[in-house]
Amino acid sequence: MTTLFAEVSRPTRRRASRIAGTTWDRLHDPHVQLEVVLALVFLGALAAFGHIVEDYLTGDPIVRWDVEFSRWLHVHSSPTLVSLFSVVTWAGNAVVLAAATLVGAALLVRAGRRRDAYVVLGGAIGIELLNAVLKLVFHRPRPELAYVHLDTYSFPSGHAAGSAAIYGILLYLFARGRRPMIAVVCSVAYVVLVATICFSRLYLEVHYLSDVLAGASLGLAWAAGCVLLRELNTS
């Protein structure tokens, strides 16, 4: 009986060993490592968005901080900076993002990267539709002290979500396959650009802090999800 069990289990052990070896080899594949990183970014950003939504719905301290920070910015605001951020914030405007999307897609098509162009177009349309739906779901009013009065809802920030998603996808595709230094520069530029756009929305007081945090995390999750699907379909 023991001999029979050993004869049966030996092929099973060999098969398990081959599977383990193949899995280990795949984990050392740079492309697989990239997919793992993208998946972690997607899950982390999505978890952050969910946490902010929960805090908003349950009235956690972040809602109180929203109002207090908005009032603090209003008291300490500068007319010069208000004018400056009124211009800066256009980098996250839907019209500018649409233009960036079309230019980026056109350049990718010209370079023979038609599939990547579809990723850019699909990602841009998707995040704008998703954010519009979420605004209607949460229907949060805009801050009362806003320098720019808008009729749309506040949560999550469309500027934050759109810029985090669209610029993220564009910069990723631009840096993909290039030297590591270019990837680092694109990553830093991405963080600075999105953070500046988000802060402009706070300074102009058209959004609360939780609005831009939710928008940025949603946009990052969307960008990571789009490029992850792109990588999975090319592996």
* pLDDT value at residue 63: 76
Q: Provide the pLDDT confidence category of residue 57 given band limits of 50, 70 and 90.
A: confident
Using one digit for the tens of pLDDT, what is the confidence trace for 161-207?
999 999 999 999 988 877 888 888 988 999 999 999 999 999 888 88
pLDDT at 145: 61
Alpha helices in the chain (DSSP H): 2-27, 30-58, 61-75, 79-88, 94-110, 114-138, 158-175, 180-203, 209-234
Per-residue pLDDT of 131-162, as tens digits, reads 999 999 988 887 776 555 666 788 899 999 99
Measure Cα distances from 152 to 44, 179, 189 in Å. 28, 42, 29
- pLDDT value at residue 29: 63
Q: Is the predicted pLDDT of residue 12 greater than 70, yes or no?
A: no
Distance, in Å, from the CA atom of 43 to the CA atom of 228, rounded to the nearest integer, reads: 11
The model carries a pTM of 0.82
Give residue 133's pLDDT.
94
Residue 186 has a pLDDT of 87
The pLDDT-based confidence of 19 (bands split at 50, 70, 90) is very low
User: 3-class SS at 9?
Assistant: helix
What integer pLDDT is reported at residue 40 of this predicted model? 94
DSSP annotation of 176 reads: T
Domain ranges (residues) in the chain: 31-234
Mean pLDDT in residue range 50-54: 90
Give the Cα separation of 210 and 66 in Å (integer).
7
